[in-house]
Amino acid sequence: MAATLYTLTSPPHAGAAVTLIAPGGTSGDTAPTGSGIALLVVNGATPTTVTLVPLTFDGLVVTTRSVVIAASTPTLIPLPASVYGTGTVAVGYGNVTTLTGGATGVAVITIPGN
């Protein structure tokens, strides 16, 4: 599968449905970062782990963040630039079997007013 650069979804104050997409694979995807931005992962019947690569600190490599997501569990993961840098962050998945797009998958969202 090809790597995916997730686009930012910014629902209006009146609300809107969020379109979930399938990841491009277990590695190589990227998501925008910033204030009020988060990765929404709506998992299906198989658990997965999401990994995010943070910035270096004072030239030192910081441990990669791993978020374990239980089966059938929607999870919101904040993506602040202060942790992941300005621009994009690399996103990896332990399993993409049930992140197929539609009812399950991923989206990057921002909250209006942030």
* 79-107 pLDDT tens trace: 999 888 899 999 999 999 989 989 999 99
Confidence band of 1 (pLDDT split at 50, 70, 90):
low
- Residues 64-86 have a mean pLDDT of 93
Structural domain contains residue 2:
no
Q: CA 68, 4, 72, 48 torsion: positive or negative?
A: negative
Q: Which pTM was predicted?
A: 0.90
Which residues fall within 8 angstroms of residue 56, CB to CB, at 6 or more apart?
Answer: 62
pLDDT at 114: 53
Say how many domains are in the chain: 1
Structural domain contains residue 84:
yes
Q: What is the pLDDT of residues 5-61, one digit of tens each?
A: 999 999 888 888 899 999 999 998 999 999 999 999 999 999 999 999 887 778 777
Structural domain span for residue 99: 8-12+22-104
CA 70 to chain CA centroid, nearest Å: 15
Could you tell me the CATH number of the domain that includes residue 39?
A: 2.60.290
